[in-house]
Structure 1
Amino acid sequence: MTALGFLYPGHSAEDDYPRIEQLLGSDIRLAVIHTDIGEDAHRVDALLEMGSPERLAAGVEELRLAGAEAVVWACTSGSFVHGWEGAQEQVRSLALAAGLPASSTSFAFAHAIREVGAGRVAVAATYPDDVAALFAAFLKDAGTEVVSVRGSGIMTAAEVGTWGRDEVRELARTGDHPDAEAVLLPDTALHTAAHIRDLEQELGKPLLTANQVTVWEALRLVSRRVNAPELGALFTKEPIVQVKG
């Protein structure tokens, strides 16, 4: 049994994790520990506080009790908002506090982009434009070419958590770009686990979503590879067949 730990802010789309655990179909357990979200706002000052060392460290004891072998801060905006260097320091502090290999969803995206072989990406974000631009800047620091950025102006994770398949599909379709080799949906408050494979077939390219890459990153930290086609190209080497019409 491999136990993986996730520090998840508040309550929005955490039910993606048991769904992903089921789709992995192996001896992997995903332990989700909820952190205090503070003010629910896609605003820079609120996001900086959400990912503060004190808030993350508060969940460390539960991680230990869960037997986690690695931990990922399951929040994209609460990591990239610190910038490349600041996000690295955030992960170092978390690893030290937990005594475990650690990462965050922002770095998960950077690593997953390389895994699927995408040099150019499109960002389709739920965030306001200024926050979406910070994510694009983070990716550029990781060496990725961002060919387009689409923000949706949603100010709270609570609202994002109410979106269903139709909204996710529209976000992915309108956020795509003909030059992009992958489409990124960077919000762990967004329910995507049930839709990845169908949307990839529709887009004809890899779709990387926040909770999906977060789980993949935790597996990477413990050197586990799992073939799970329902979770998209990131979890399989099978080619994507585009659905026409």
Structure 2
Amino acid sequence: MTALGFLHPGHAAEDDYPRIEQLLGSDIRLTVVHTDLDEDPRSVEALRAMGSAQRLAAGVEELRLSGAEAVVWASASGSFVHGVQGAHEQVRGLAMAAGLPASSTAFAFAHAVREIGADRVAIGAALSDDVAGLFAEFLRETGTEVVAVHGSGAVTPAEVAGRDYGRVLALAREADHPDADAVLLPDTALHTAAHLTALEKDLAKPVLTAHQVTVWEALRLTDRRVNAPDLGTLFTREPIVQV
């Protein structure tokens, strides 16, 4: 049994985790602990506060008691808004507080892009253009070329979580670019676990989504490798990235 822990901001689309656990079809348990979320978490300032050391530390005891072997801050925007150096400091603080290997969804995307061999990517996010641009800057700092950035506007997590497959696909298509080797959808409020194979078929290229890469990152931290084609190209690649 491998137990993985996730600190998830607020309540939106976290039911993707039990779905992913089922699709993994292995002896893997995913435990989600919710962190506090401001009423309107869409500004850069609110996103930085969302991933504060105090808020993250508040959830680690429950994860330790669950037997988690690694913990991931399950927020891309709550990490990349700090820049690469700030995100590293955030993860180091989380690891020290939890006494466990730690990472974040932002770094999960950076590692997953390398895992699938994507040199150039396109980003589609239900974020304002300035926040989506910060994700592009983060990826560029980690060595990935970003050829397109599409921000569909800052909307509430509840609105994002309510999007059906047609709207998720529309976001991915609007973001896609002929030069992109993969499309990235960084919103943890977006339901994507049930759509990964359909998205990749419709776009004819790999698609990386927030919960997908977050779980993969936790597995990477524990040196687990799982082949799960229903979770997209990322879960069919070997070997796992070593960093």
In which range does the TM-score fall when normalised by the shorter chain?
over 0.9
Aligned to 2:128: 128
Aligned-residue identity in percent = 72
Paired residues of 2:115 and 2:237 also in contact (CA < 8 A)? no
Task: Provide the rounded CA distance (Å) in 1 between the counterparts of 2:5 and 2:40.
Answer: 22
Stretches of structure 1 that go unaligned for 5 or more consecutive residues are 239-245
CA distance in 2, matches of 1:190, 1:154: 13
| Equivalent position of 1:66 in the other structure | 66
Does the 8 Å contact 1:39/1:46 carry over to 2?
no
Match of 1:75 in 2: 75
Structure 1 CA distance for aligned equivalents of residues 169 and 206 of structure 2: 14
- Secondary structure of 2:215's aligned partner: helix
**Aligned amino acid, residue 63 of structure 1:** L
Q: Normalized against structure 1, the TM-score is what?
A: 0.96
Cα deviation, residue 156, structure 1: 1.8
1:180 corresponds to: 180
Equivalent residues of 2:41, 2:50 under 8 A apart? no
Q: CA deviation at 1:212?
A: 0.2
Counterpart amino acid of residue 96 in structure 2: L
RMSD, aligned CA: 0.9
Q: CA deviation at 1:39?
A: 3.0
1:243 maps to none
After superposition, the C-alpha distances for 1:36-78 in whole angstroms (9 at most, x for unaligned) are 1123322101001100000000001100111000000000100
1:43 and 1:149 map into 2 onto residues whose CA distance is 18
Cα distance in 2 for residues equivalent to 1:10 and 1:187: 13
Contact 2:70–2:221, Cα closer than 8 Å, also in 1: yes
Task: Give the stretch that moved more between structures: 156-165 or 120-129.
Answer: 156-165
- How far apart, in 2, do the equivalents of 1:88 and 1:155 lie? 27
Q: Matches of 1:234 and 1:162 in 2, distance apart?
A: 25
Residue 55 of structure 1: aligned partner: 55
Q: Secondary structure at the match of 2:85?
A: helix
Aligned to 2:163: 163
**Which position in structure 1 is the counterpart of 2:140?**
140
SS in structure 2 of the partner of residue 150 of structure 1: strand
Equivalent pair of 2:108/2:216 in contact (CA under 8 Å): yes
- For 1:231, the aligned partner's letter is L
Contact kept in structure 2, 1:43 and 1:155, CA below 8 Å = no
Q: 2:45 matched to which residue of 1?
A: 45
Q: Which residue of 2 aligns with 1:152?
A: 152
The answer on 1:97 being equivalent to 2:100 is no
Residue of structure 1 equivalent to 2:27: 27
Structure 2 length-normalised TM: 0.96
Cα separation, 2, equivalents of 1:43 and 1:161: 18
Structure 2: runs of 5+ lacking an equivalent: 239-243
Q: Deviations over 1:130-162 (max 9, x none)?
A: 000000000000000000000000332121111
Match of 2:229 in 1: 229
Secondary structure at the residue paired with 2:173? Answer: helix
| Pairwise CA distance, 1:25 | 0.2
1:170-212 superposed Cα distances (whole Å, 9 cap, x missing partner): 0011110000000000010000000000110111111000000
Determine the C-alpha separation between the residues in 2 that align with 1:112 and 1:230: 16
* Number of the residue aligned with 1:203: 203
Distance in 2, matches of 1:49 and 1:175, equals 28
1:3-27, Cα deviation, whole Å (9 max, x unpaired): 0000001100000000000000000
